[in-house]
């Protein structure tokens, strides 16, 4: 069993020292990668901007931006049986990059943004029947409604929906997720420590694959 897991928060730069990002710590993705390795999976972990030790036995691929993560995922995806996309990818990037630090002049700054490629939708469009693709939906409202829309639009098998507003999952050691399936299934996992949720989620993926291939 070969797994590809993404984790962390991508960054998109205005200049060499300034960027936009989000508060994702990468803890959920690292917990999934560690749990998969403990169950004997061969794991590649594409990690963006985290301060966590790599799980033992996992092949770590560090990246910074969304484009770098897309390249890494595209490279590893054809060889994986399951992709678990927990990374919080920054959806927009500054349209213009300044090669030198922009000096503060007391005036405001207007920045034009452009969309970052949708990594999950891009790679899932080419998934084969042997592959399982699991997404994460980090939302601040209407969490499961938005998650089910992503489940369909991005050609996913499963999606883990979680609330990330004030007091939500970002940066926390605990989480609660609603695991939704294309067949209309729904299972609430947690509340529990992310290390425990990683184990539960990996077991659910294994159960899903057994059911699909039986």
Question: Please, what's the b/e burial string for 70-84 (b: 16 or more CB within 10 A of its CB; e: otherwise)?
Answer: bebbeebbeebbbbb
Task: Verify whether residue 175 is a known catalytic residue.
Answer: no
Residue carrying structure tokens 């500054």:
94
179 sits in the region (left: phi over 0; alpha: psi -120 to 50; else beta) called beta
Q: Which of 22, 142, 155, 207 is catalytic?
A: 22
Kindly give the interhelix angle for 194-213 and 27-38, rounded to the nearest 10 degrees.
Answer: 60
Active site residues: 22
């Amino acid at each position: 069993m070969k797994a590809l897991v993404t984790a962390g928060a991508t960054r998109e730069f205005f200049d060499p020292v300034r960027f936009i990002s989000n508060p994702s710590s990468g803890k959920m993705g690292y917990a999934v990668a560690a749990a998969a390795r403990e169950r004997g999976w061969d794991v590649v972990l594409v990690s963006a901007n985290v301060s966590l030790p790599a799980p033992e036995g996992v092949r770590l691929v560090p990246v910074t931006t969304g484009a770098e993560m897309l390249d890494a995922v595209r490279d590893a995806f054809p060889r994986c049986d399951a992709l678990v996309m927990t990374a919080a990818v920054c959806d927009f990037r500054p349209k213009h990059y300044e090669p030198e630090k922009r000096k503060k002049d007391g005036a405001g700054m207007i920045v034009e943004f452009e969309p970052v490629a949708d990594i999950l939708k891009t790679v899932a469009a080419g998934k084969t029947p042997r592959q399982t693709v699991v997404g994460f939906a980090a939302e601040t409202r209407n969490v499961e409604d938005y998650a089910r829309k992503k489940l369909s639009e991005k050609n996913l098998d499963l999606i883990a929906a979680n609330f990330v507003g004030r007091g939500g999952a970002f940066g926390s050691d605990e989480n609660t997720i609603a695991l939704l399936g294309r067949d209309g299934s729904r299972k609430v996992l947690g509340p529990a420590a992310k290390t425990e949720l990683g184990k539960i989620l990996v077991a659910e993926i294994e159960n899903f694959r057994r059911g699909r291939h039986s």
